[in-house]
């Protein structure tokens, strides 16, 4: 019988000199930057 499924998705997008850039961290950071730089349309 097969064991539980284990994925092998590597979240590291770029590794430069020991500094890792994770693709999901980049998505969170870009979303945060977009929300802070978007023009305010309310009130």
DSSP letters for 22-35: EHHHHHHHHHHHHH
Q: What is the pLDDT of residue 42?
A: 65
Whether the Cβ atoms of residue 21 and residue 12 lie closer than 8 Å to each other = yes
Q: What is the pLDDT of residue 43?
A: 63
Q: What is the pLDDT of residue 35?
A: 82
DSSP state of 36: H
* pLDDT profile of the chain (43 residues), mean per 10: 77 86 81 80 67
Q: What is the pLDDT of residue 27?
A: 81
Q: What is the pLDDT of residue 21?
A: 80
């Amino acid at each position: 019988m097969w064991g539980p499924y284990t994925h092998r998705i590597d979240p590291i997008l770029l590794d430069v000199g020991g500094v890792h850039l994770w693709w999901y961290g980049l998505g969170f950071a870009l979303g945060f930057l977009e929300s802070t730089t978007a023009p305010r349309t309310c009130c």
